[in-house]
Amino acid sequence: MKKLLNALPVLMMVAILAACGSNNGAASTPAPTNNTAAEGSEAEVKAPVKTELKMALTVDPDGLDPHRTTAASTFQITNNIYDTLVKVSLDGEFVPGLAEEWKVSEDGLTIAFKLREGVKFHNGREMTAEDVKFSFERLKGEESPRAGDFANIVSITAVDHYNIEFVTKALDVALVSQFAYPWTAIVPEEAAEQLRNNPVGTGPFKLEQWVPQQQIVLTRNNDYFTPAKLEKVSFIMMPDATSQITALQSGELDIISVSGDAVPQFENNSDYSIIETQANAVQVMAMNLDNEALSDARVRQAINYAVDKQALIDTVWWGYGQEIGSHYPPMLKEYLDTNEAIIYDPEKAKQLLEEAGYAQGLTLEMYLPSSYPNYVAAGQVIADQLKKVGLTINIHTVEWGFWLSDVYTGRKYDLTVTGHTGRLDPYALLARYHSESKENYMNYKNERVDEILTQVQQERDEQQRLELYQELQQILAEDVPALYIQSPIGLTVTAANVAGYQSYPIDIYEMKDVYFTN
Amino acid sequence: MVKYTINRLLSGVVVLFVISWITFFVLTVIPGDAALLSLGTDATPERLEALRESMGLNQPWYERYFSWLTHFLAGDWGNSLFFGEEVLTLIMQRLMITVSLAVFSLLLAIPVAAIIGILSAIYQDKWIDRLARTVMQLGDAIPQFWLALIFLVFFSGKLGWFPVPGFIPVEEGWWRSIQSLLLPSIVVAIGLVGYLIRIIRSSMLSALEQDFMLMTRVNGLSSAQAVFKYALRSAVIAPVTTILMQLAGLLAGTVLVESIFALPGVGRLLLVAVEQRDVILLQGTVMFITGVVVCVNFLADILYRVINPMIQFGGERNA
């Protein structure tokens, strides 16, 4: 007994010491942060306006190299570290970024940019046309997952230090939008190898520290042409929603994203502001037209008639979502309200099923991605509503990796609930409905849709394009290769003294304009 | 003893090797890989192909395994596909947090469990025993994530007794750092107490029932003397092994608590490795945890013998 009592604490001490020792040895990445110390001294000096902001994230980004990933989690952050030639305004207009102005040639095949002069990378070197050329070549390179998107650019010429020209092979009527996405960031060649963990850009903030699963700290780039108001932005990794709310309430965080059920905790409370933003995204229940029954438009329509969308949105998203009738988010200017095309009517659903020869019922397999609890919940509500018109739905909740490989790319499913994020160019959102698109996981085929999608790419008249896009929305609303559920409303809660935080039509966190009022 | 030790060490190496192979193989068989997970719904066949090529996922699995194994044996744990950082660095950054969490929760759980467990064995079927059984059942029945959430909202949020979720590094002060681990440790400890009570109680009961206990009374020892001098010594073996195994198990087993309290520990690292199909990170983390379990097992065996020399090792008498 005595030996034992002696041995246990020793063992534990050894374990602790070993751990501490190795931790110190491994602390090669970060310089220690002293947030608490800084806050303390500030309070003493009575400098009341905070300049350090903390925002919660649920997951780490997939690296900070914008040319080597497609993950939204990366671009939400890298947008603050790097710049693009063109930026997008709150209402979706294209405004100067690193390029002061640009000009598209008569034939629409060439675009020329004049760069802002005197812009410096975080390493102190000036950014020139050569860096732009290098960045786009890197983006078109073999290791770039977006290379295909930029294959249409066939030549890049740096005319001089501050002028650069891009030549495209086929006409792209929305060419300028291609230079506004956060993955078209301009990077310096000398730092390119290390960008994943050591990003170097020209942006308003530079990376100070990234401790995976703990935090990402950005500090202000004082050389930026319109310097940010905050000195420091920390993204704190907090996977659990309740923890985030507790941390916001105790003042440890300044900004968090919440789901609808958390709103009542902050509503009518002057300590917080709730920001509602219409997302550039749609959430749908896709149907696989390879299934014989689902290839019949009447069955698909019946499924649409059978689901009470408003009830679904109220149950799953606590009412924070806008009902849609087609694959298009209401926030974009080409949007056409197609909600009238099919209005909830279970009787009509039964009748259509009978006409299609499924009066005796039909069994369908529904796959739901477990990492998206909202999609799982939505699928369950839908399945329940479909049961009432005589359909049997077998629900399979699957892991995200399985969903991606077997359901999404493998197209082995009947029904699945998922979301699609919009781009700046409407074509990118709708292109998956082309019968030959590799992203057409619904196996949808409609000749007129193919025609429209081919035609709209060559149409230089904006009014004509608008009409084509609206016709396409109408076709989808009637032919329903999916049950179009809603365009989600994003909910952000900030401490009341946070101002200037706004949401953009692309998925980014723009921290440059954020500041504290006291 | 020497022969036994060598045998145990050798079998440990074999276990490590087999586990490494199984992990690698399982991750190759299950759907989805790191490239697909990275691309998500942006995946097209061309993009997948390009990314797989650049991640080296296009080689057959046995080639990749062999390449990983040779590097690993040479001491190179590789770089995580997802974080880009060295695997060993990532593990070491998290080890202190997880080990502290495990040790703190055991330090909290052991005294409580020992007192209740011993008393409930001595006073079998009395009120203390009934209390112990209730505690055991509560400990087993309360889901850990639920307890963690309630504690977080109540003690950390409402009362402000504990700091908000998130780990405070040691650089910012030892005490603050320990404080940030206290509430999660209590949650883990509550989960452990019930189990430990059961082990201690039953181990104590069987010790009290042994023949030599009767002998101590015959020889004139008081009840208390008998318990402290003989019963405890014989009863302590099973709990010690259990506690050591719990310690090893906690290295990977606190993932829920780590997630809720936003602690960057080994459990969460393992979770990300699986979610992102980060083969290199997963291999490293699994190897590390298996290594610890093997070592602890080994240690438990040795301790067994130190505490109770009556236990004989197979084959030793002939040696």
The rounded distance, in Å, linking the Cα atoms of A156 and A136 is 8
Residue B289 has pLDDT above 60, yes or no: yes
Write the DSSP string, A155-210: EEEEEETTEEEEEESS--TTGGGGGTSGGG----GGGGGGTTTS---SSSEEEEEE
The rounded distance, in Å, linking the Cα atoms of A230 and B229 is 67
Q: 3-state DSSP: chain A helix, strand, coil percent, rounded to 5?
A: 35, 25, 40
The rounded distance, in Å, linking the Cα atoms of B81 and B35 is 9
Residue A37 has pLDDT above 60, yes or no: no
Interchain CB contact of B179 with A (< 8 Å): no
- For A:224-283, CB contacts with B below 8 A are 236-240, 242-243, 246-247, 249-250, 252
The rounded distance, in Å, linking the Cα atoms of B166 and A252 is 10
Residue, of A38 and A209, whose pLDDT is higher: A209
Token code pair at residue A299: 């069955």
- Judged by CB atoms closer than 8 Å, whether chains meet at B37 and A400 is answered as yes
The rounded distance, in Å, linking the Cα atoms of A242 and A251 is 14
The rounded distance, in Å, linking the Cα atoms of A441 and A445 is 11
Query: Rounded to an integer, what is the distance from CA B210 to the centroid of its chain?
Result: 32
- For residue A389, the one-letter residue type is V
Token code pair at residue A241: 């929603």
Residue B49 has pLDDT above 50, yes or no: yes
pLDDT-derived band at A508, boundaries 50, 70, 90: confident
Which phi and psi angles does B160 have, rounded to 5°? 70, 25
B276 Cα to chain A: minimum distance (Å): 8
Taking the CA atoms of residue B106, residue B107, residue B109 and residue B113 in that order, the dihedral angle to the nearest 10 degrees is 110
pLDDT at B209: 78
pLDDT at B312: 53
Interchain CB contact of B291 with A (< 8 Å): no
* Average pLDDT value for residue range A20-24: 37
Q: Considering chain B, what percentage of its residues have pLDDT values greater than 70? A: 93
Residue, of B106 and A42, whose pLDDT is higher: B106
- Judged by CB atoms closer than 8 Å, whether chains meet at A32 and B260 is answered as no
* Cβ atoms of residues B149 and B261 within 8 Å: no
User: Using one digit for the tens of pLDDT, what is the confidence trace for B113-172?
Assistant: 888 888 888 888 888 888 888 878 887 888 888 999 999 888 888 888 887 777 777 777
pLDDT at A9: 41
pLDDT at A14: 38
**Residues on chain B touching A246 (C-beta within 8 angstroms):** 152-153, 156-157, 164-165
User: Using one digit for the tens of pLDDT, what is the confidence trace for B155-198?
Assistant: 888 888 887 777 777 777 778 888 888 899 999 998 888 888 88
Mean pLDDT computed over every residue of chain B: 82
Residue B1 has pLDDT above 70, yes or no: no
Task: Work out the burial of residue B81: count CB atoms within 10 Å of its CB; fewer than 13 is exposed, 13-18 middle, 19 or more buried.
Answer: buried
pLDDT-derived band at B308, boundaries 50, 70, 90: low
Q: How far is CA B136 from CA B117, B121, B254, in A?
A: 10, 14, 20
User: Using one digit for the tens of pLDDT, what is the confidence trace for B6-29?
Assistant: 888 888 889 888 998 888 888 888
* Partners of residue B122 on adjacent β-strands: none
Interchain CB contact of B250 with A (< 8 Å): no
Interchain CB contact of A6 with B (< 8 Å): no
User: Using one digit for the tens of pLDDT, what is the confidence trace for A271-325?
Assistant: 999 999 888 899 999 999 999 999 999 999 999 999 999 999 999 999 999 999 9
* Partners of residue A18 on adjacent β-strands: none
Location of structure tokens 């008393």 = B119
pLDDT at A15: 40
A344 Cα to chain B: minimum distance (Å): 30
* Partners of residue A57 on adjacent β-strands: A237
* Cβ atoms of residues A321 and A487 within 8 Å: yes
**Residues on chain A touching B96 (C-beta within 8 angstroms):** 16, 19-20, 22-23
- For A:97-126, CB contacts with B below 8 A are none
Write the DSSP string, A374-409: HHHHHHHHHHHHHHTTTEEEEEEEE-HHHIIIIIIT
Token code pair at residue A336: 């056409």
pLDDT-derived band at B275, boundaries 50, 70, 90: confident
Q: Considering chain A, what percentage of its residues have pLDDT values greater than 90? A: 70
Q: Where are the beta strands (DSSP E) in A288-332?
A: 321-323
Give exposure, B177-188, as e/b (b: 16+ Cβ within 10 Å). Answer: beebbbbbbbbb
A100 Cα to chain B: minimum distance (Å): 31
pLDDT at A284: 96
Which has the closest alpha carbon to A206: A81, A330, A101, A114? A81
Which phi and psi angles does B225 have, rounded to 5°? -60, -45
A125-129, B42-46, B277-281, range with the lowest pLDDT: B42-46
**Residues on chain A touching B275 (C-beta within 8 angstroms):** 371, 400-401
User: Using one digit for the tens of pLDDT, what is the confidence trace for A321-358?
Assistant: 999 999 999 988 889 999 999 999 999 999 999 999 99
Residue, of A390 and B52, whose pLDDT is higher: A390
pLDDT at A47: 56
Q: How far is CA B55 from CA A406, B67, B84, in A?
A: 21, 14, 11
Q: Are strands A215-220 and A205-211 parallel, antiparallel or unpaired?
A: antiparallel
pLDDT at A1: 40
pLDDT-derived band at A33, boundaries 50, 70, 90: very low
Looking at residue B185, the DSSP 8-state letter turns out to be H
* Average pLDDT value for residue range A84-98: 91
pLDDT at A34: 40
Task: Work out the burial of residue B26: count CB atoms within 10 Å of its CB; fewer than 13 is exposed, 13-18 middle, 19 or more buried.
Answer: exposed
pLDDT at B156: 85
Q: How many residues does chain B have?
A: 319
Name the residue of chain A whose CA is nearest to B55's CA. A143
Location of structure tokens 């001491």 = B75
User: Using one digit for the tens of pLDDT, what is the confidence trace for A341-400?
Assistant: 999 999 999 999 999 999 888 999 999 998 888 999 999 999 999 999 999 999 999 988
The rounded distance, in Å, linking the Cα atoms of A181 and A144 is 15
H/E run at residue A262: none
**Residues on chain B touching A149 (C-beta within 8 angstroms):** none
Q: Work out the widest C-alpha separation in chain A, in whole angstroms.
A: 92
Which has the closest alpha carbon to A277: A90, A8, A511, A411? A90
pLDDT at A118: 93
* Partners of residue A364 on adjacent β-strands: A393
* Average pLDDT value for residue range A407-412: 92
